[in-house]
């Protein structure tokens, strides 16, 4: 039976402040969790945290990757009335913005705020039917005027959604939070490192656990990490946006909550290595771990950069199916998280050198 997820770890990571370009807090937190597990750890000049574990003679290099950053906001103007104009950092739908609480990384620490919009009483019939984009909205930090706002914020200040971490559903096996993309992947990597350190596998493998930066705006952190490592294989642990909600056709559901980790065959930036994916499917079957195939071509992740580095990297992506991605209320199943974590560990322990 699979061991239960380290819920406190997922909780702590998900609520950490880490919009793209500001991953430092998350990196420090992760380093505190893995410093005693890895054979070596380094923080590269991009901000990627790379932990190496060598087993046997390390004849093959495997890069296991999850990104630390989350979608967020950047202040673009401080207005005379104390409101802040902003733009999104990463893909965020206008439908999840108005009225949301945010945390601003201010000049002297974090500042509470919210994304302001007219109340329904002050909107015309036409306006009520519109979804307002970021350029039509403002952040309210409670400042009376520009001078007061400038004590706390400046142009270029970053912000994230402010969201509670909630367990719900049968036996509280569903989790709701911001930043499950991709703190669930980060948590799984930490748990796998702990298991491998406790019971080292009998394989000849150099494993680089890479906690990467800047995935949400161009995959640049993983690009430099892969160029540094020159891995033979890469396994990207992610979340994937799914549509398994009411009145959705089967092909548009993408994957199903409760169906296990999701293996991609193709997305908007990568066609995945067939033999590697087949190895992961067989490993899942042999170890009685749930896994499913992604049924839709969409999105992308750090694999889009990794597989093109050096002389090429044989790459696979394994994801937790997640509802309402890039919002303050991402929802995933702890069962699926455990399947992803267990399959990652099993793949390392049973790595096939003939791949």
Q: What is the 3-state secondary structure (H, E, C) of 177-199?
A: ECCHHHHHHHHHHHHHHHHHHHC
| Cβ neighbours of residue 202 closer than 8 Å, sequence gap 6 or more | 55, 56
- The C-alpha atoms of residue 216 and residue 336 are separated, in whole angstroms, by 23
pLDDT score of 296: 86
Of the candidates 314, 336, 317, which has an alpha carbon nearest to the alpha carbon of residue 60? 314
- Residue 354: CB atoms within 10 Å: 6
Q: Which residues pair with 72 in a beta bridge?
A: 89
Residue with tokens 């694999």: 303
Residue with tokens 């945390």: 103
- The C-alpha atoms of residue 151 and residue 213 are separated, in whole angstroms, by 29
- Pick out the chain residues at pLDDT < 70: 1
How do 330-333 and 314-323 pair as beta strands?
Answer: antiparallel
- The C-alpha atoms of residue 108 and residue 20 are separated, in whole angstroms, by 19
Of the candidates 189, 183, 214, which has an alpha carbon nearest to the alpha carbon of residue 332? 183
Specify whether the CB–CB gap between 211 and 68 falls below 8 A.
yes
- The C-alpha atoms of residue 177 and residue 15 are separated, in whole angstroms, by 8
- Residue 233: CB atoms within 10 Å: 22
Which residues belong to the active site? Answer: 215
- The C-alpha atoms of residue 312 and residue 163 are separated, in whole angstroms, by 39
Helix segments in the chain, DSSP class H: 7-15, 24-34, 125-128, 146-149, 180-198, 220-229, 274-286, 303-306, 334-349
How do 101-106 and 109-116 pair as beta strands?
Answer: antiparallel
- Write phi, then psi, for 223 (nearest 5 degrees): -60, -50
- Residue 55: CB atoms within 10 Å: 19
- The C-alpha atoms of residue 98 and residue 91 are separated, in whole angstroms, by 16
- Write phi, then psi, for 295 (nearest 5 degrees): -105, 30
Of the candidates 137, 306, 315, 299, which has an alpha carbon nearest to the alpha carbon of residue 227? 306
Any idea what the Cα angle at residue 211 is, between residues 208 and 215, rounded to 5°?
Answer: 125
pLDDT score of 66: 98
pLDDT score of 252: 83
| Cβ neighbours of residue 151 closer than 8 Å, sequence gap 6 or more | 107, 143
- The C-alpha atoms of residue 184 and residue 325 are separated, in whole angstroms, by 12
- The C-alpha atoms of residue 163 and residue 176 are separated, in whole angstroms, by 9
Specify whether the CB–CB gap between 323 and 245 falls below 8 A.
yes
């Amino acid at each position: 039976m699979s061991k239960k997820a380290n819920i406190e770890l997922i909780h702590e990571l998900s609520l950490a402040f880490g919009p793209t370009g500001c991953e430092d807090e998350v990196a420090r937190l992760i380093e505190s969790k893995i410093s005693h597990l890895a054979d070596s750890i380094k923080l590269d000049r991009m901000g990627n945290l790379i932990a190496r574990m060598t087993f046997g003679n390390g004849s093959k290099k495997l890069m296991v990757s999850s990104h630390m950053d989350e979608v967020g906001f950047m202040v673009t103007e401080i207005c005379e009335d104390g409101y802040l104009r902003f733009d999104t950092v990463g893909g965020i739908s206008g439908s999840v913005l108005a009225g949301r609480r945010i945390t601003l990384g201010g000049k002297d620490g974090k500042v509470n705020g919210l994304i302001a919009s007219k109340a329904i009483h002050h909107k015309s019939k036409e306006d009520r039917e519109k979804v307002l984009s970021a350029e039509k909205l403002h952040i309210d930090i409670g400042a009376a005027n520009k001078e007061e706002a400038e004590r706390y914020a400046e142009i270029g200040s970053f912000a994230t959604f402010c969201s509670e971490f909630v367990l719900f559903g049968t036996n509280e096996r569903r989790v709701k939070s911001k930043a499950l993309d991709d703190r669930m992947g980060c948590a799984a990597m930490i748990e796998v490192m702990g298991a491998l350190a406790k019971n080292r596998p009998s394989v000849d493998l150099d494993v680089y656990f890479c906690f990467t930066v800047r995935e949400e705006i161009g995959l640049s952190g993983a690009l430099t990490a892969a160029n540094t490592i020159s891995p033979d294989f890469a396994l990207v642990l992610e979340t994937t946006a799914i549509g398994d909600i009411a009145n959705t056709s089967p092909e548009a559901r993408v994957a199903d909550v409760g169906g296990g980790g999701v293996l991609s065959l193709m997305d908007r930036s990568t066609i995945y290595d067939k033999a590697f994916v087949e190895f992961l499917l067989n490993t899942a079957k042999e170890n009685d771990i749930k896994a499913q195939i992604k049924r839709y071509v969409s999105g992308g992740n750090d694999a889009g950069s990794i597989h093109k580095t050096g002389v090429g990297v044989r790459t696979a992506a394994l994801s937790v199916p997640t509802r309402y991605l890039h919002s303050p209320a991402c929802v995933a199943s702890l069962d699926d998280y455990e399947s992803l974590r267990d399959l990652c560990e099993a793949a390392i322990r049973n790595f096939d050198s003939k791949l």
